[in-house]
Amino acid sequence: MNPLRIALPLLACAGFVAAPVAALADGDPRLGRLYYRSICTDCHVAETGSGIAPNQKTIAEWESYLDTDRHDAGGAYDGKVSDFTSQAHRESIQEHNRVAERFLSVDDDQMFANVRTWLVSSAKDSDNPAGCD
């Protein structure tokens, strides 16, 4: 696949123009951003017509949400948030998702930490709030 098909939608997102954020704790926010936008947002847009931007929640709300690790409670995708950052999930979508394929070897905890760091560091009350739509 042409790499521009991944790069162009990402460049359209506000995160690329924000100042670089300091790496928080154990996650890499750049990898978390790429993962969130290519795997999480991909489904949010497909299912609901719009993404869920990091700046829709505060730092405390993201931390609580990710600590609880419950996704779409009562909905069609009720389960753990961390199921969607797992290697098993990446394997299941790798054929049609280049980012999932690229990150196959990253272990579950590290990928969850990457996404967490991106969301928390881009929250509405962070230094670099990030939207995507």
- Binding interface with ligand HEC (CB under 6 A): 39-40, 43-44, 47-48, 52, 65, 71-72, 75-77, 81, 84-85, 115
Q: Greatest CA separation found in the chain?
A: 38
Least distance to ligand HEC from the beta carbon of 15, Å?
Answer: 15
Decide: 72 and 79 in contact? Cβ < 8 Å: yes
Least distance to ligand HEC from the beta carbon of 52, Å?
Answer: 5
Q: Which is nearer to ligand HEC, 25 or 76 (CB)?
A: 76
Least distance to ligand HEC from the beta carbon of 70, Å?
Answer: 7
Q: Which is nearer to ligand HEC, 4 or 34 (CB)?
A: 34
Q: Which is nearer to ligand HEC, 9 or 65 (CB)?
A: 65
- Amino acid residing at 31: L
Q: Which is nearer to ligand HEC, 4 or 126 (CB)?
A: 126
Decide: 16 and 10 in contact? Cβ < 8 Å: yes
Which tokens go with 60?
Answer: 């405390």
Question: Counting Cβ atoms within 10 Å, is residue 53 exposed (0-12), middle (13-18) or buried (19+)?
Answer: buried
Least distance to ligand HEC from the beta carbon of 11, Å?
Answer: 21
CA distances from 111 to 36, 38, 97, 114, 128 (A): 10, 13, 16, 5, 21
